[in-house]
């Protein structure tokens, strides 16, 4: 009788060991899958996450509350294109080219990251945050989502850069200088460091 119990206990412990081994095997497979998935993530996605996390860490380490940071980021995000158009209209050639270069870098980052990193930060700070492009999407009788935000942003960027090119051409390159009346209002033209 004792022998049967020992044999029974040995069988149970060996089955538990087999189960433990199989669980370890599953754990190893899961770890391999996770590692494989992280290797499959494109470099640009990793870089966007790193940039967003770097900025979010800076926000978390600051003394200002997140909702104030959200307001600052949204203000900059929404107003920058308008301020740049004003600079294109009133600013010196050098200042206009500086801001045009910044806008081009921003567009290239948008295309490279497959979306705006500022929008990602806004969404991390506030779930379901209203996007800068959402009013335009609603005007087009569409409902905003991640995919159409990207394409509507590209569409609006195209028109924005077209208007900017028109302004810059007539302001700085046209021999007739049809926008010369803006020169009377240009306070940037007299700044020597621009």
**Dist. CA 185–CA 24, nearest whole Å:** 74
**Does residue 96 sit in the same domain as residue 180?**
yes
Is residue 14 domain-shared with residue 97, that is, in the same domain? no
Number of helices and strands in the chain (H, E): 7, 0
- The answer to whether residue 80 is domain-embedded is yes
Residues 34 and 99 in one domain: no
> What integer is the mean pLDDT of 142-169?
92
Ranking 8-22, 51-65, 138-152, 171-185 by mean pLDDT, the lowest is 8-22
31 and 71, same domain (yes or no):
no
Quick check: is 190 in a domain? no
Q: Please check whether residue 194 lies inside any domain of the structure.
A: no
Identify whether residues 27 and 66 lie together within a single domain. no
The number of domains in the chain is 2
| Same domain? 19 vs 87 | no
Residue 127 placed within a domain: yes
Residues 93 and 69 in one domain: yes
- Is there a single domain that holds both residue 76 and residue 127? yes
Q: What is the mean pLDDT of residues 40-60?
A: 91
CB proximity list for 177: less than 8 A, separation 6 or greater: 170, 171
Taking CA atoms, 145 is separated from 60, 120, 149, in Å, by 28, 13, 6
Q: What is the pLDDT of residues 7-22, one digit of tens each?
A: 555 555 554 444 444 4
- The end-to-end CA distance of the chain, in Å, is 99
* Residue 152: domain span: 43-185
Q: Which of 54-68, 108-122, 180-194 has the lowest mean pLDDT?
A: 180-194
Choose the weakest-confidence range: 66-70, 76-80, 137-141, 188-192: 188-192
Give yes or no: residues 137 and 167 share one domain: yes
Over the range 165-176, which residues count as b (16 or more CB within 10 Å of their CB) and which as e? eebbeebbeeee
Phi, psi of 128 (to 5 degrees): 55, 45
Q: Are residues 8 and 75 in the same domain?
A: no
pLDDT of residue 28: 55
Same domain as 52, residue 31: no
Would residue 16 count as lying in a domain? yes
Q: Tell me: do 15 and 82 sit in the same domain.
A: no
């Amino acid at each position: 009788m004792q022998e049967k119990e020992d044999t029974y206990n040995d069988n149970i412990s060996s089955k538990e060991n087999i189960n433990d081994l199989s669980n370890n095997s599953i754990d190893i497979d899961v770890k391999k899958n996770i590692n494989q998935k992280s290797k499959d993530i494109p470099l640009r996605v990793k870089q966007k996450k790193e940039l967003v996390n770097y900025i979010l860490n800076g926000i978390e380490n600051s003394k200002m509350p997140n909702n104030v940071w959200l307001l600052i980021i949204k203000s900059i995000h929404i107003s920058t294109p308008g301020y740049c158009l004003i600079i294109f209209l009133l600013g010196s050639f050098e200042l206009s080219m500086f801001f045009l270069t910044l806008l081009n870098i921003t567009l290239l980052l948008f295309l490279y990251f497959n979306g705006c990193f500022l929008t990602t930060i806004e969404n991390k700070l506030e779930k379901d945050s209203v996007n800068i492009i959402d009013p335009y999407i609603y005007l087009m009788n569409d409902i905003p989502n991640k995919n159409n935000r990207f394409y509507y942003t590209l569409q609006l960027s195209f028109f924005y850069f077209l208007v900017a090119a028109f302004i810059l051409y007539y302001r700085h390159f046209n021999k007739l200088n049809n926008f010369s009346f803006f020169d009377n209002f240009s306070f940037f033209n007299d700044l020597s460091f621009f």
